[in-house]
Amino acid sequence: MPLYALTLEYDGGPFVGWQRQENGLSVQQVLEEAAAKLNDGVLPASIAAGRTDAGVHAEGQVAQLTLARDLPPERLREALNFHTRPYPVSVVRAALAPEGWNARFAAVQRGYRYRILNRRARPALDAGRVWHVQHPLDAAAMHAAAQGLLGKHDFSAYRAAACQAKSALRTLDRLEVARLGDEVVITAEARSFLHHQIRNLVGTLVEVGFGRRGVEWPRRVLDSRDRTKAGQTAPAEALTFLFVRYEVEPEWR
């Protein structure tokens, strides 16, 4: 039974998130039901590199899928893109996975982008893709504050109450804040993230951007390990899962 790797793009708007849930349609369900049509009706179980929340988008989510049939990766990609219609889920690349590969546990780096539209006027073109923040943000101060969070730390202060990870120790490799015209774009990279970690980091950095808190504050919040100290959880719809990297990269088609 061949194991396939898939790179997925999706609009998180209409979904309850990656993971199957009772209360609505998930990306996982759309993918598995499309795959079942190529698998004699049998629903295959898929695993994703990141279980994105409701509303979170993906340009480069990676998932795995075992099928009973041997299909060239190009054909699997095309067939899945036929059967995932009309949902905004697209298989950008497919590969036969290397021996022992796992989409989630073999990942060595994950990247996300968070977009803030920082102007008075509400978004017309990017509604559902940005967090609309009307008060001016000092992106340079946010960036300076972010640099104090890099490295290996206990990120308990920035994890969700519902986070299921055993340890809150994570190594944050990159947290950059840059202004691009009316947008403030935050880029985050780590081997793995805690539940809501990026959205809690963004919600905290924004307090610095407003000038309500100093550049040192997000680090003090980190050191407190107390999640009641951090800023708000920033909205999901402005977050996009960009990429996953593996030690042994599948041969993407």
Q: Annotated catalytic sites, by residue?
A: 53
The token pair that represents 147 in the structure block = 């640099």
Shortest Å distance, C-beta 15 to a second copy: 11
Q: Give the residue, chosen from 33, 78, 138, 154, that forms a contact with a second copy under the rule CB under 8 A.
A: 78
- Minimum distance, C-beta of residue 123 to a second copy, in the bound complex (Å): 7
Nearer to a second copy, 87 or 158 (CB): 87
Positions in 15-74 near a second copy (CB under 8 A):
57, 59, 74
According to the binding rule CB under 8 A, does residue 147 interact with a second copy? no
The correct pick among 3, 4, 5, 10 for binding a second copy (CB under 8 A) is 10
The distance of Cα 9 from the centroid of its chain, to the nearest Å, equals 11
List Cα–Cα distances, 80 to 37, 83, 85, 183, 223, in angstroms. 9, 5, 9, 35, 46
Angle between the 139-147 and 217-224 helix axes, to the nearest 10 degrees?
40
Scanning 96-104, 118-126, 148-156, 202-210 for contacts with a second copy by CB under 8 A, the matching segment is 118-126
Judged by CB under 8 A, which of 32, 53, 73, 77 binds a second copy? Answer: 77
Residues near 50 by Cβ (< 8 Å), separated by ≥ 6?
18, 61, 104, 110, 193, 241, 244
Q: Closer CB to a second copy, residue 127 or residue 169?
A: 127
Indicate the Cα dihedral angle 6, 11, 16, 20, nearest 10°.
-10
Angstrom distance (rounded) from CA 229 to CA 231: 7
Beta bridge partners of 63: 6, 48
Among 54, 91, 157, 230, the residue binding a second copy under the rule CB under 8 A is: 91
21: its two tokens: 């849930």
Q: Is 10 annotated as belonging to a binding site?
A: no
Total site size for a second copy, rule CB under 8 A: 25
Residue from the set 9, 33, 138, 176 that interacts with a second copy by CB under 8 A: 9
Supply the minimum distance, in Å, between the C-beta of residue 85 and a second copy.
8
| CB-count burial class (<10 Å; 0-12, 13-18, 19+) for 229 | middle
Residue 180 binds a second copy, judged by CB under 8 A: no
Paired sense of beta strands 57-66 and 239-246, if any: parallel
Binding site for a second copy (CB under 8 A): 9-11, 57, 59, 74, 77-78, 81, 85, 88-93, 119-125, 127, 240
